[in-house]
Structure 1
Amino acid sequence: MARPAYRLLAHSLWDIVPILMALAHFSFVLWLVLAFHSLSWWVILPAALLYAVSLSWSINSISHNQIHNAYFSLPWLNRAFDLLLSVTIGFSQTLYRDIHNRHHRGNSDRPGADGTTVDPLSIYLHGRNGQPDNVWAYTFLSFFRDDPKAIYQEMQRKRPADARWVKVEIGMTVLVYVALALYDWHALLVLLPFWYLGQSLSSLNGYYEHLGGNPDLPIAWGVSSYSRLYNLIWMNNGYHAEHHYRPKMHWTRVKAFHREIREQQRAGGVKVIPLAHGLGFLLKHPKR
């Protein structure tokens, strides 16, 4: 007997939205390469900039929500979707899940006595005198500072099936981009710096999700933005304090949850910014 379509989704019919957007994002990447030589530079440059922004958007919305509440009820479908995200974004989704889960264990913690943090993405890891890292150093150097090798080795020991799937994701990503390079290496060469820019924009987004947060108070671990347009496009990523307080809550429920705990958040000094996190550099941020 066929399984009803709605039962293929593990949590909500609304998850059709990020699933379709992921397919659209993958199609956009393919179009950029396959149509490259038929496009003028007046189209290529804006499209490449959109490609960079779309990487940060996908990492912080589609990929992020898949990590916390996998969209499908069937494990093999989630594996397939992780593979799609890996190829589209250009790195292993399964490995990123482990890195992101460590982020939630540390919640952008300050370095301990040994100078390290639980959270490998902590904005304090490379800061000085207990202060956050410089925003531009964090934005543009995080890509080169990341060292997923130790995380992968631990995955090999504890979850060998996931470690094997990381290899599948990386292998398939390499194969797809080699094939695209054989089709048009000029397109890949032009898009490469925009791919790096997209990873950097994701780091910029993450920086302002925590600048002004309180690593010692769970309700204030994150910084929120309640911009309607931002949360519509980024699938409620703006509710970041709420997300860190209840990381397993589905993305469609965080707005209602915010209304429930609003007074607790005010008492806890939760920081709220009026712009999308990625535009946080346009605001003044007093030191805590």
Structure 2
Amino acid sequence: MARPAYRLLAHSLWDLIPVALGLAHFAFVVWLVLAFHALSWWALLPLALVYAVSLSWSINSISHNQIHNAYFTPAWLNRAFDLLLSVTIGFSQTLYRDIHNRHHRGNSDRPGADGKTIDPLSIYQRGKDGQPENPWAYTFLSFFRDDPKPIYDEMQRKRPADARWVKVEIGVTVAFYLGLAICDWRAVLVLLPFWYLGQALSSLNGYYEHFGGNPDSPIAWGVSAYSPLYNLLWMNNGYHAEHHYRPKMHWTRVKAFHRDIAGQQREAGVKDIPVAHGLGFLVAHRKD
């Protein structure tokens, strides 16, 4: 694909949308803390739930698309946007990129002969008898199981500049939230469990992106959700089978790609669900 005339953007003018939403998400986090004491509990609790959902939304849309097709042409601008995402979401975007790329190397694989999966996020990693793990255990425990150290150590050996940037992202993120706590420690304390809930919701989303997929068939590695509203708000994250089949495809092209390969998908038995991935638990899933 030819680069657009507007050289700051590496792929498409449509990327102005996730960039603007990333800035808006950061502003929302700051506003929620600063406005904490001016809000009644009737307003605060729904807003805190919106905050939790917004974390999963950003991880699976804005952050996800930045990982696969970085928005900007200048490397320094992508570094800056990665830093913004790190601060907003609460963890290193650069480290998450390597974790997510490892996810694509394994594609939610089953454990091998050594009892381990290539994909550190695989829903089969702690399942029994070749079956996926229980969705609620995966959703609420994944946060506590994550061990990014081996992935960071590999990054440090192969790409030390990225490893140094991980430290910058973590340091700035910690400093940012310490600053917010100085402004209003009660607000940060109240929002902390909702931050964890946001991470859990992201795991829930990831579970149903692969539950019912076929780890042995590339075209069926993922599970898609074609709800128009979901894909509008989540920037086509619903086209997940298509994404795993062609992970470097730009988010604006996956819908057309789905139309091109729909016949092949039917033949391969690619699964799709009628709701957003995060609501996959509402669907009666067939057991083959």
Structure-1-length-normalised TM-score: 0.98
Partner of 2:177: 177
Match of 2:138 in 1: 138
Q: Which amino acid aligns with 1:149?
A: K
Name the CA distance, whole Å, in 2 between partners of 1:276 and 1:44.
25
The match for 1:227 is: 227
Offset, 1:7: 1.1
Partner of 2:7: 7
Within a 5 Å distance, the mapping from 1:38-117 to structure 2 comes to 38-117=38-117
For 1:285 and 1:166, the matched residues in 2 are separated by: 39
Shift of 1:287: 2.5
Mark the CA change 1:286 to 1:81 in structure 2 (over 3 Å): closer, same or farther: same
**1:93 and 1:6 mapped to 2: Cα distance?**
25
- Structure 2: how far apart are the matches of 1:94 and 1:149? 13
| Partner amino acid, structure 2, of 1:197 | L
Structure 2, unaligned runs of 5 or more:
none
What's 1:256 paired with? 256
Amino acid at match of 1:101: N
The 5 A counterparts of 1:247-286 are 247-286=247-286
What is the CA distance between 1:199 and its match in structure 2?
A: 0.1
Aligned residue type for 1:147: D
Residue of structure 2 equivalent to 1:200: 200
What SS does the corresponding residue of 2:183 show, helix, strand or coil? helix
Equivalent-residue separation in structure 2 for 1:229 and 1:140 (angstroms): 26
Deviation of residue 169 (structure 1)? Answer: 0.1
What does the per-residue CA deviation read over 1:42-92, in whole Å, with 9 as the maximum and x for residues that have no partner? 111000000000000000000000000000000000000000000000000
State the 4+ residue runs in structure 1 displaced beyond 2 angstroms. none
Aligned-partner SS, 1:129: coil
1: distance between equivalents of 2:143 and 2:287?
Answer: 26
- For residue 6 of structure 2, give the secondary structure of its aligned residue in structure 1: helix
Identity %: 82
- The residue identity in structure 1 corresponding to 2:216 is D
In the alignment, the residues of structure 1 paired with residue 169 and residue 273 of structure 2 have an alpha-carbon distance, to the nearest angstrom, of 36
Q: Partners in 2 of 1:39 and 1:31 — Cα distance? A: 11
Alignment of 1:129-168 (within 5 A): 129-168=129-168
Task: Give the partner amino acid of 1:285.
Answer: H
CA shift for structure 1 position 284: 1.1
Shift of 1:5: 7.8
1:210 aligned counterpart, secondary structure = coil
Q: Distance in 2 between matches of 1:6 and 1:33?
A: 35
Provide the C-alpha distance between the structure 1 equivalents of 2:5 and 2:168, rounded to a whole number of angstroms.
Answer: 27
Report what 2:188 is aligned to: 188
Give the distance between the partners of 2:65 and 2:83, measured in 1 at CA.
15
State the AA in 2 paired with 1:28: F
Q: 1:74 & 1:134 partners in 2: Cα distance? A: 43
Alignment RMSD = 0.8
After superposition, the C-alpha distances for 1:10-66 in whole angstroms (9 at most, x for unaligned) are: 000000000000000000000000110111111110000000000000000000000
1:20-39 equivalences under 5 Å are 20-39=20-39
SS at match of 2:285: coil
Alignment partners' CA distance in 2, 1:148 and 1:240? 24
The amino acid of 2:53's aligned partner reads: V
**Count of residues paired in the alignment:** 285
Deviation string, structure 1 residues 185-227 (Cα, Å, up to 9, x no partner): 0000000000000000000000000000000000000000110
TM-score, length-scaled by structure 2 = 0.98
Gaps of 5+ in 1: none
For 2:210, give the aligned amino acid: H
CA distance in 2, matches of 1:252, 1:115: 38
Aligned counterparts of 2:198 and 2:187: Cα–Cα separation in 1: 16
